[in-house]
Chains A and B, each alone.
Chain A
Amino acid sequence: DAGVIQSPRHEVTEMGQEVTLRCKPISGHNSLFWYRQTMMRGLELLIYFNNNVPIDDSGMPEDRFSAKMPNASFSTLKIQPSEPRDSAVYFCATTEYYGYTFGSGTRLTVV
Chain B
Amino acid sequence: AQSVSQHNHHVILSEAASLELGCNYSYGGTVNLFWYVQYPGQHLQLLLKYFSGDPLVKGIKGFEAEFIKSKFSFNLRKPSVQWSDTAEYFCAVNAIGNNDMRFGAGTRLTVKP
Q: How far is the CA of A33 from the CA of B104 in the complex (A)?
A: 16
Task: Sort chain B's interface into a size bin.
Answer: 20 to 34
Q: How far is the CA of A104 from the CA of B104 in the complex (A)?
A: 20
* Main SS at interface, chain B: strand
Chain A, range 83-111, C-beta contacts under 8 Å to B: 91, 93, 95, 97-105
* Main SS at interface, chain A: strand
**When the two chains form the complex, which single residue of A43, A95, A104 contacts B103, counting CB atoms closer than 8 Å?**
A43
Number of interface residues of A (CB under 8 A): 21
**When the two chains form the complex, which single residue of B45, B51, B94 contacts A102, counting CB atoms closer than 8 Å?**
B45
Chain B, range 24-81, C-beta contacts under 8 Å to A: 32, 34, 36, 42-46, 49, 51
Q: Lowest 8 A-B CB distances belong to which pairs?
A: A102-B43, A42-B105, A43-B103, A102-B44, A104-B43, A98-B32, A31-B99, A105-B43
